[in-house]
Amino acid sequence: MLLSVASAETQTVKLPACGAEIRKTSVSGLSSGAFMTSQLYVAFSEIMVGAGIVAGGPYLCAKSWAGNSLLVNATTTCMHPLTAGSGPNTPRLARYAATLAEYGQIAPLKNLEDDRIYIFSGTRDEIVTTTVVNQTREFFKAVGVPEASIRYDRSIAAGHAFLTDDDTDTACALTRSPYINDCDFSQAGAILEQIYPGLKPPARHRDDSLIAFDQEEFIDSPYTSMDDTAYAYVPTACRNGKSCPVHVVFHGCRQGSHFIGDQYYARTGYNRLAEANDLIMLYPQVRPSSASPLNPDGCWDFWGYSSPDSPTPDYFTRNAPQLRAIHKMIARLAEPRS
């Protein structure tokens, strides 16, 4: 039986040092988690080998149009623009990224040239439309990722959701909570196979490999909206001496454990693949916040809510509050075992 949220919370531990192979790290996510994926991936590309973006726009998307606020860009340009011309301003975003890299605020863009990217847009997705996701591919091409290294799938009539082959999940074409849809397709498998080619078939997960850990330890800002507890899946071999890559998985809005329990971190297919292929899964968590910061849907920050007192909020560089915390978690996993 899977570890329940209730039991996980009562067994919260310190995130262990596992001697992980940090320079084979990768990341994926849905919706706000897809935007967060691009931010973590680009900011810390020196440790990354690939990324999986499901229903998300390009890095820096909320900075597309200087005449709009970050929030307006995030909720229109980066989700459902009226026309392609009012969608993400990819040439501007690529130039901005190059400037950030030049000044050391993100890792050098040349790190991306030998990586592998998975991108997905469902044809029934009306939350983050294909018009937006198209520009995610264009952005990565513009900053040096070869087109042959990008797998872009627009072939499935899926709603706004992460896709599985589990017939107990929501029907494929719908968009509704928990935003995990049965499309007879393992999206976790497609993402991980693109990033780490030649994977073994899924294995039976182990209950004792799924842990709840103290996420608060890694947070040094009062405005991140990050939860006290997060989750990780550490396969048997990775606990017993093997140096394993880390794959970070970001949930979308209204998908953290506060909203849907263990459905995203335990039931989307990642952990069975992790057990078979010796990959550590890291599942950071955001919770809703109705005050400061204002984040009622528990989204990852891709427009600046985590810097509420700044006229120029930083949510996209190596020093951004959420990104800083996640990088600390990866670094902990990579520390030598005690």
Active site residues: 31, 125, 160
Q: How far apart are CA 309 and CA 297, in angstroms?
A: 20
Rg from Cα positions in the chain: 18
* Cβ count near 283 (within 10 Å): 26
3-state percent breakdown (helix, strand, coil) of the chain, nearest 5? 35, 15, 45
- Is the Cβ–Cβ distance between 281 and 249 less than 8 Å? yes
Regarding beta strands 229-233 and 280-283, do their DSSP bridges make them parallel or antiparallel, or are they unpaired?
antiparallel
Neighbours of 307 (CB within 10 A): 18
- Distance (Å, rounded) from C-alpha 35 to C-alpha 317? 13
Contact 260, 241 (CB under 8 A): no
230 CB neighbour count, 10 Å cutoff: 26
- How many of the other CB atoms lie within 10 Å of CB of 138? 15
Extract the tokens encoding 58. 């390009």
Distances (CA, A) of 213 to 6, 98, 250, 281, 329: 13, 36, 16, 13, 10
Contacts 24+ apart (CB under 8 A), 308-315: 308/223, 313/70, 315/39
Torsion over CA: 186, 113, 17, 248 (sign): negative
Q: DSSP secondary-structure letter at 116?
A: E
Distance CA 137, CA 145 (A): 9
Interstrand relation of 180-182 and 48-54 (parallel, antiparallel or unpaired): unpaired
Half-sphere exposure of 117 (CA within 13 A, CB side): 30
Cα 91 from Cα 95, distance rounded (Å): 6
